[in-house]
Amino acid sequence: MTTPPMNRPGEIAGWPKLVITYRSEPGKVAALLPPGIEPMEPVVTVGFYCVPVLGEPELGVSVKVEAAWQGRPGHYSLGLGIDQEAAVHVSGETNGQPKFLCDITYFRFGDTVTARACHQGYTFVEYSGTVTGEVPPRDGSFEEHEWWTKYSRAIGGADGAYDFPPHVVDVATTFEQRHIEAVDGTLVLRPSPWDPIADLLPMVGPAEAQLVTHRPTARSITDAGPLDPAAFWPFADVIGGSRWPGWRGGPKPTDPGTR
């Protein structure tokens, strides 16, 4: 069956998403999850995408790990680096979506696929590969859950105090897969203090990649319930708008007293 195009000729929004997965160390994954969000398989998903947001195409990269909330499987989002500033603050302020500004390169030229992400001068993830053929799409529609965290620490910075204590946000999306192509290539994770994927989620096996074209049929963003405020406190200080562990909004220094 021929699938109609998702966008008109000349549009860039609607590109297939480059979905890269690899296995990391179970202990490393568990250490990044706030108490109450449970680790599953130590699988990391890195996705490069271009979708319409606020009336313009948004190029982005997402990093998430398999995790469950109250027994429901899904993915915990550690960060979404995007190339448009308008969607950064409002996404975090309203829904807890962990977005931050990032320089993105993502394109397909013939059967060659290239993607990289650069933040604060550091290229922290890079992929290059070749399309090898089509993969049968999944039959019917299916639902996925992505977990974000929303919270606000107290004005004045009192230790352990919140203006809005931590809650889990459930992003439930129903998809229909339309077209999938396998990609054979190389994923490189580079050291970066601002996006420490190479150190905190190291690869322990080969990466697999696909170009995925899908059609969302439904999406909801809801409050899924509170997290323990005291247990969450060590996870409240993050790097920028991400959920990578940080110190005063930036990378953790070796000696906090020297910063």
Q: What is the pTM of this model?
A: 0.92
Write out pLDDT tens, residues 3-51: 444 556 556 666 799 999 999 999 999 999 999 999 999 999 999 999 8
3-state secondary structure of 62: strand
Alpha-carbon distance of 219 to 125, in angstroms, equals 28
- What's the number of domains the chain is made of? 1
Q: What is the CATH number of the domain that holds 224?
A: 2.40.400.10
**222 falls within a domain:** yes
Q: Is residue 160 part of a domain?
A: yes
* Assigned domain for 233 exists: yes
Residue 12 forms part of a structural domain = no
- Domain hosting residue 21, numbered range: 17-258
Q: Is residue 11 part of a domain?
A: no
Asked whether residue 180 is domain-assigned, the answer is yes
182-210: pLDDT as tens digits? 999 999 999 999 999 999 999 998 999 99
pLDDT in the model for residue 188: 98
Are 24 and 201 in contact, with CB atoms under 8 Å apart? yes
Residue 223 lies in a domain: yes
DSSP 233: G
